[in-house]
Structure 1
Amino acid sequence: MTATGIQAGSEELVPGPDSAYDLVICHDDRIVFHDHYPSPAFRLRMCAQLLTASDVVLGAIDASAANEVHELYQSSSGQWESAPDSVVNAIAKLCRRWGVQVYVSTTRKKTEVPAALYSVITEYGPGQTIAEHFTSREARRASLIERADMFFSSRGSIPERVQADEQRLAALVGAFLMPATVLLTEAVLDEADGHYKPSGRPLPIL
C-alpha cells in the first residue's frame, strides 16, 4: 500500500524546491525505516535499494522476493525520471504479499531563518547528498535517535551512552547506511550578508 500525503491544510502542496520527499517502510504495521530525499526519483532509487540490498526488511523479503522487486524496478526504467512515484506504487503493491508496506509523502520544508543551523549531512555517493538542518543540537540529537532507532527490531535498543552523544549516534546511523558517509556541521547566520557561515570544521563520522 502506498499513501501519498501532498496536502498542506486545504491547499494542494505543489512539489518544488521547498518540498521534501519522504519514504516510510513498514513491516507488520511497524515502521522499520523513514527518511527524506531531495526528489521523487532519488526516493525511488533508495526505495529499490533498501528493499533489495539492505537488512531493513530482513526476514520479510528473501532473495527470491528481492529479485522480483529488482526485476520490477528494472523493467520500469522508462519511468524512473518521468513518473517515479508510479514505480514506487507498483513496488508497494508487490511488497504487500510479504507483509511489507511502503508509504511516500511530500511535505513543505520550513522557511523561517534561524540564527544557527545544526546539520546532518548524509553522502550516499557522487551527487547524492541529503542535508537535514535543525535549529538546536537537541533537535538534531532527537532526530538522530529516531533515525537510528528504526534499524532495530524494537524501540529503545540504543544504549543511553550512545543516545547522549550525537557523534556516536551519527556513527551508528552511518554504520547502518554504509557505504554512505555521515557528517555533523554547524553554521551561524551572518546578519550582514544573510548567509550562513561554518562555525567549525565538519567532522566525518567513521
Structure 2
Amino acid sequence: MTEQDEAARRRGRGARERILAAAMALFETQGITATGMEQVAAHAPVSKRTLYLHFPAKDQLVVAYLRHLAESGRTIDHALDRAELSPRARLLELFAVPHTGTGPIRGCPFIDAAAEFPDPDSPVHAHTRQEKQRFTHRVIELVRQLGVAHPEILGEQLAILADGVASRAMVFNDPGCGAHARAAAEALLDAATGSLSTKDR
C-alpha cells in the first residue's frame, strides 16, 4: 500500500470513532492532561491532520469523549434510565458502585474532567457543570414522583451524596462506600416520605 493509499484509508469513514476510542482508552488509563493529541493520533491510528480535522482543539475532543460516555450509559445517571424500577429504586441504584474486580474503581468522569480543567470558563469545565446540572434535575424529577414536600432540596442532597460516593469509592478503591451512601440515601428518603412503608413507591 502506497503512502497516498494509507493516507486515504486514515481519512476514511470511522476515523472519528477510532479517535474517540483511543481517547477513551488513554484518558481512562493515564488521565486527560497527561494525554497529548499526538499520542491519541498514534493510538487511533490516524494522521495528525485527520485528528485536527475532526477535533481542532483538545477541549473539543474531551467534550466529545464526555458526551460519548453519557450516550453509551457509562455514567452515574445511567441508573435513572431503568424504567423497570420504581422511582425510589432508581434513586438508590445511584449508590451501587460498579466494580468488576479487574482494576481500580474509577470515579465520576465529569468530576475528573472538571478537576483537570479547573478554569470555570473553559469549555470542558462548562460542559461538566451542565452535565451535573442535568443530572441533578433528573434526580429532582424522580424525587418529585415520590410526592415529597421539597423535591428540589432532597434532589440536591441525593445528587451531592451520589457524587460524593463516586469520588470516595475511587479514592479508597472500595465499593463498600456505596453501601454506606445507600443507607444515608434511604434515611433521607424515609424522612421525606414520612414512613418506612413507602420503600417500594
Larger CA Rg, structure 1 vs 2? 2
Fold equivalence (TM over 0.5): no
Query: Comparing both structures, which one devotes a greater share of its residues to strand?
Result: 1
TM-score (norm 2): 0.23
Higher-helix-fraction structure: 2
TM-score (norm 1): 0.23
